[in-house]
Each structure stands twice: as structure tokens, then as C-alpha cells.
Chain A
């Protein structure tokens, strides 16, 4: 009974994870901008990885339920890998977004940059870091800037 429930949940988790990883690839191809590509390429892969590794963890727990000692090793190692992904992936995305903003890449269709003077390249007392905010206007002028 419990094994069958585990099996169905494993299939559902695999479907969700593959769907979101494919969305990450499509978003990387289709979005117009560095920041929106970061949005697609980092959030979608993190969410999809949670579900794909979650299916592996559930498989390990199912083997452990059926008195197989290898399942516990599988589940614990997968949990460690999941924690490593969850800690490192948003941090790397934040560093990349900050680097893109400081190296002068402007958002698509941006006219006014609110963070122009607030984030300095080398400041002793750093101001509080906000996420990069995009102002969009209806008329897309100055695209070649």
C-alpha cells in the first residue's frame, strides 16, 4: 500500500521536475535580458532540482521501508546534495546579477536606473542591497543604448 503511494508520488515529482527544467531552457533562449534570463535560469532549475532530487529521496525511503539498507544511504546523500544546491544556487545568482549591474549591462527597455548612484563599485560602508529594479515604460525608446 505504502509502496504504491510512494511510486505514484515519485512519478508526479519526476514530471514536475522535468517540466520546470525544460522551462528553464526555453526561458534562457527566449528572454531579452540578462536579469530576466537569470530569473528563468536560476529559479526554474532550483525548483525543478528540488522535485527531481525529491523523487530520488522518496525512492530511497521506499527502499528503506522495504528493509533495504542501501536506501538510507541513497536518501541521506541525496539530501546533502539537495542542501548544497539550495544554498549555493541563489547565492551564485545574486553575485551574477550584481556583477552584471556593475559592469554596465542595462535592463531591456530601461530608461531610468534607480540604482545608478546607490551601488558604488568600491564603497567602504556599503548601502543596503536591493534587488535590481526595472522601470519599464510603454514606449520603448533608446533601445540601442
Chain B
């Protein structure tokens, strides 16, 4: 269990709420984006915010394992975004 400054874990939960608001705005763009690259851009933004949210949640709950999950999530989301871009681009792999 990680000892933090008193009151800081509550502050981190407030930060998580604001990040969730940003995720909601990106999700609106994913839903009503006119073209396919718009939706891909929204997904990319959601991925980055989710990585940061995992790290913040790990520090708020006091366990380091969330940060390791965030590292793996970052690399996997990068590969998925590259595949989506290659698919949108057309042509051969």
C-alpha cells in the first residue's frame, strides 16, 4: 500500500472525473464523425487518455500493477492504430 499525501487520492479521483469528461467528448466525435479517419482520430485520443487514467487510478488506489498494464496498453494501442491507418490508406501490407 502506497502512502500518499493526505487528500491527494481524493484529488486524483477528481482528476479522473475530468479525464472521463474528455473521454466523453472524444466519444461523441467517434459516434458522429463524418468520415472514417475522424473516428480513428477519436479512438487515438481515447487510447491516450485511458493510458493516463490507468496511471492516475493506480496511484489513487495505491497499487503499481495498473502502471504495468498501462505500458502494455500503450504499445498495443499503437499497433492497432497503425493497422487502422494502413487499412484506411489502402494498398498492400
Contact = CB atoms under 8 A, between A and B. Distances in A.
Contacts of B52: 17, 21, 45, 48-49, 52-53
A29 B23 CA distance: 11
Task: State the 3 A-B residue pairs at the shortest beta-carbon distance, nearest first.
Answer: A25-B25, A88-B78, A25-B22
A92 B37 contact: no
A34 B18 CA distance: 24
Contacts, number: 162
Interface of B: 2-5, 8, 11-12, 15, 18-19, 21-26, 28-29, 35-38, 40-42, 44-45, 48-49, 51-52, 55-56, 59, 64, 67-68, 70-71, 74-75, 77-78, 81-82, 84-86, 88-92
A105 interface: yes
**Main SS at interface, chain A:** helix
- Category for how many chain A residues contact B: 35 or more
**Main SS at interface, chain B:** helix
A49 B48 contact: yes
11 contacts: A18-B15, A21-B22, A22-B21, A41-B44, A41-B45, A45-B52, A52-B55, A70-B2, A73-B64, A74-B2, A99-B88
